Amino acid sequence: MLVYPSGIDLSSSALRFLSTQLRAHRRRRGTRWRRLSAGRQALLTLAHLRCGHTYAQLAAGFGVGTATAYRYIAEAVDVLAALAPDLAAAVKAAARKAFVILDGTLLPIDRIAADRPFYSGKHKKHGMNVQVIADPHGRLLWASPALPGAVHDIRAARTHGVIDALTDAGLACWADKGYQGAGGTVRVPFRGRRERLSAGQRAANLSHARIRALGEQAMAALKQWRLLRKLRCSTTRITETVKAVLVLHLATSG
């Protein structure tokens, strides 16, 4: 396999952050020697998450075996995932904000047509449903564990306890029509054809759409990590991957 130099569109702070976490993890485990230093292991993991390179490609580039590359990346992902804020912490952090934006996204996966639980009728593809909370500026605050793509957004939000948590905190939340009937503090646009809505309802929907558009920035921040654009790993590993990406985003976007 040919090897060539490449770049990753990340700041050095991401590499420093992950390297520090891996060094601390190695000290806790009493690790004495590895094929790659903590810094190189961090770079290997960032290349996988940000660029979506396969284990075979990364193994060739870093001069290790494919199995070793897999183990190093899985270890780093688990270290990062353990640092991810839970829903309660995210709601607490957002408590002083005027409102939050709730939205769901489908992370495409490499599945066959027979895997019906993972098929999203809305998106017409297989994937995993992830709920996202963003602040009024469109900054990502929290990402949920992944559920099969057949799960609708409102059901996913209820499963994770998002609606109850926001309501208990008295935190206003803006969401799209997929959350119709959520109740609590969740605000959704008026349903119906535009021509059948009153002028006031149309104006409210327009204002609502402008606010929700900020939530797309959070989705874009999540999917800048190209691995999430087409996941080929086991579905049992996707939640940890999403959490790892969330932690890296939070650690480097402040």
**Nearest by Cα to 225 from 206, 195, 247, 254:** 247
| DSSP codes, 22-86 | HHHHHHHHT----SS-HHHHHHHHHHHHHH---HHHHHHHHTS-HHHHHHHHHHHHHHHHTT---
pLDDT at 198: 87
Q: Which pairing describes strands 147-148 and 125-134: parallel, antiparallel, or unpaired?
A: antiparallel
Task: Please tell me whether residue 111 adopts helix, strand or coil conformation.
Answer: coil
Task: Please tell me whether residue 8 adopts helix, strand or coil conformation.
Answer: coil
pLDDT at 20: 97
pLDDT at 5: 81
pLDDT at 114: 62
Question: Percent helix, strand, coil in the chain (nearest 5)?
Answer: 55, 15, 35
Per-residue pLDDT of the chain (254 residues; tens, 9 = 90+): 777 788 899 989 999 999 999 999 999 999 888 999 999 999 999 999 999 999 999 999 999 999 999 999 999 999 999 999 999 999 999 988 889 999 999 999 987 666 778 888 888 889 999 999 999 888 999 999 999 999 999 999 999 999 999 999 999 999 998 899 899 999 999 888 888 888 888 898 888 888 888 888 888 888 899 999 989 888 899 999 999 999 999 998 86
pLDDT at 112: 64
pTM to 2 decimal places: 0.90
pLDDT at 155: 95
Task: Please tell me whether residue 182 adopts helix, strand or coil conformation.
Answer: coil
- The amino acid occupying position 222 is L
Q: Which pairing describes strands 100-108 and 173-174: parallel, antiparallel, or unpaired?
A: parallel
pLDDT at 56: 94
Burial label, 234 (beta-carbon count in 10 A; 0-12, 13-18, 19+): exposed
